[in-house]
Amino acid sequence: MRLRCAVLDDFQNIATTVADWSAVQDRVEVVSFTEHFATEDELAVALSDFDIAVTVRERIPFRAGLLDRLPRLKLLVASGMRNSVIDYTAAERNGVTVCGTTSSSTPPVELAWALLLGLARGIVTENNALRTGGPWQSTVGADLHGRRLGLLGLGKIGSRVAQVGLAFGMEVTAWSEHLTKERADEAGVHLAPSKEELLRGSDFVSVHLVLGERTRGLLGAPELALLKPTAYVINTSRSAIVDQDALLAALHEGRIAGAGVDVFDIEPLPGDHPMRTAPRLLATPHLGYVSHSNYRTYYGQAVEDIEAYLAGNPVRRLG
């Protein structure tokens, strides 16, 4: 009897075409779900007769309560090699093997710059006006050359964002709790003496940190109050690093020039969520990892994970 594999949150309905599933198709029936299951109850019902689940990034929590309700589930494949919303202890207790895939840092770097440039030059405002018969020029672009880009985090993504900033002729500074001057020098950027100094002096602030106890709420109301009224904030990392309510207040009150956001406390965003209508906000529906190359990797390696599991030799195990 063929096993059943659920591919979750396949919004673009691309999982079964972007990768070659022929290696497992004689043993596995693949079912793609293009709609998000908003509650644990909905997910538990939907997955009740599946042996394998493929989940994208950290959108769907696989907590103990859910895993305990899925006795048939034996393999969980998550895109990426880090996932904070899977209860690995509960997975092991329930006999669920958890595997991951590699993920490229290139797409989120490109999206961070798409948001920054879109904000700086009023692209959406001007495009909407042009297409609807609105005013011919209503915004004045914010220059990048000679301005300061402040990076919170200088890892794989942050360092590549820094390279682009330098190419634009920006002064780039960076800060994180354990960032050293040697690492900053290696990347060709200045080490900010403190988070507060980085915020006070930056014209653009971009977040590139891993979410953890030290970074949760790193930018709250007191930190956002340090920014210039002409400054922009970009967050393509994790929503909980920037206090969403504090950011909304700063945008509504005009205390910062704008924000570019790709991550949210709730995903997908409810239709009436205030982030959908906030002023001075350029927002995208968590597109940082969404690219053809990444999807080929995610689903291609998901097939590899399934094939290896069926052969009794799981690869890229997580937990």
Q: Which residues are marked as active site?
A: 238, 267, 286
With CA atoms as reference, report the closest residue to 204 among 254, 249, 237, 161: 161
3-state secondary structure of 180: coil
Beta-carbon contacts of 202 under 8 Å, excluding residues fewer than 6 positions away, are 148, 149, 150, 173, 227, 228, 231
Separation CA 316–CA 201 (nearest Å): 42
Query: What is the distance of C-alpha 283 from the center of its chain?
Result: 12
For 261, the token pair is: 């956001």
**19 neighbors 42 (Cβ within 8 angstroms):** no
Q: How far is CA 281 from CA 35, 100, 210, 316, in A?
A: 26, 33, 23, 38
